[in-house]
Amino acid sequence: MADTTGKTIRCKAAVMREHKKPLIIENIEVAPPKAGEIRIKIMYSSICHSDENYLGGSRPWIVDSILGHEGAGIVESVGEGVTDFKAGDHVIPSFMGQCNQCRTCKSGKTNVCEVLKGEHYLKGGMLDGTVRFSCNGKPIYHYLNTSTFSQYTVASEWSCVKPVFKGGIGASSGLGQKIINHYLCQANTRSCVQALSVVLPQWHRSGLNCVKIR
C-alpha cells in the first residue's frame, strides 16, 4: 500500500449540497491532518435519524458539507503533537469529544466541551477555522467534528477514542453516539437511578444501551 502520510488523499464522499435533497456521491480531496488532528480511513458508518434531520433542514447545518457522526475506522496518519494515536490504530470519531481543559470539561460536563463546540463548530470548520475537505478547489465543510460519510475524514484527537473491546471494528460504528448518549444521561444526571422501572419504547437500540451499561 502506498504511503499517503503528508499527502492529499482523493476519495469518495456523500456530500450534502442542498437541504431536502439526496446526498451526492462525489470525488473529494482530503488534506493531511494538522497539529492535534487525525486522518481516519472510515471502514464503517451508521446512519442516525439526526443526520436525516440535518439533511431535511429541521436542524440547521451549512450545506456543501459531509454528514455522518456514527462511524469507526483506522488511523491513516496523525498530525504534529499527536501522541495517543498512531497509524493503524482502530478509532471511533465522536461528536462528544472533550479537551479536558475548558470550564465545562473540568466541571464534568464533557459532552458540551466549549473548545470543540466553539465558533468553528457551526461553521463546519476544524478548531483553527479551516477545512480539510475540498472538491474542485472549493471547500467542503465538516459536520459535528466527525463527517463519517466519507471514505476518509479528519478529526481532532480530542474527538477520537480507541475501542477497548474485541467485538471487531464493525461493531464500533454506532458507539460514537448511542452508548455515549445514554452513559452521560445516567452518569451525569442520574435521572433514572431511583426509578423502579423504565419504559423503553419499541426496545430501541439506544434505550437498550441504558440497560447494558447499568
166 and 186 both lie in a single domain: no
Q: Is 2 within a domain?
A: no
Q: What integer pLDDT is reported at residue 108 of this predicted model?
A: 77
Q: What integer pLDDT is reported at residue 147 of this predicted model?
A: 97
14 and 70 both lie in a single domain: yes
Q: What integer pLDDT is reported at residue 193 of this predicted model?
A: 43
102 and 192 both lie in a single domain: no
Q: What integer pLDDT is reported at residue 65 of this predicted model?
A: 98
Q: What integer pLDDT is reported at residue 164 of this predicted model?
A: 74
Structural domain including 85 reads 9-174
Q: Is 67 within a domain?
A: yes
Q: In sequence order, what DSSP letters do the residues of 9-50 get, joined into one string? A: EEEEEEEE-STTS--EEEEEEEPPP-TTEEEEEEEEEE--HH
Q: What integer pLDDT is reported at residue 163 of this predicted model?
A: 85
Burial class of 195 by CB neighbour count within 10 A (0 to 12, 13 to 18, 19+): exposed
Q: Is 48 within a domain?
A: yes
What is the greatest pairwise CA distance in the chain?
57
Say how far apart CA 97 and CA 109 lie, in whole Å.
Answer: 11
Residues of the chain with pLDDT under 70: 1, 165-214
What CATH number is given to the structural domain containing 88?
A: 3.90.180.10
Kindly report, residue by residue over 127-174, the tens digit of the pLDDT.
999 999 999 999 999 999 999 999 999 999 999 999 876 666 665 555
Q: Give every CB contact of residue 147 below 8 A, 6+ residues apart in sequence.
A: 13, 65, 66, 67, 68, 133, 153, 155
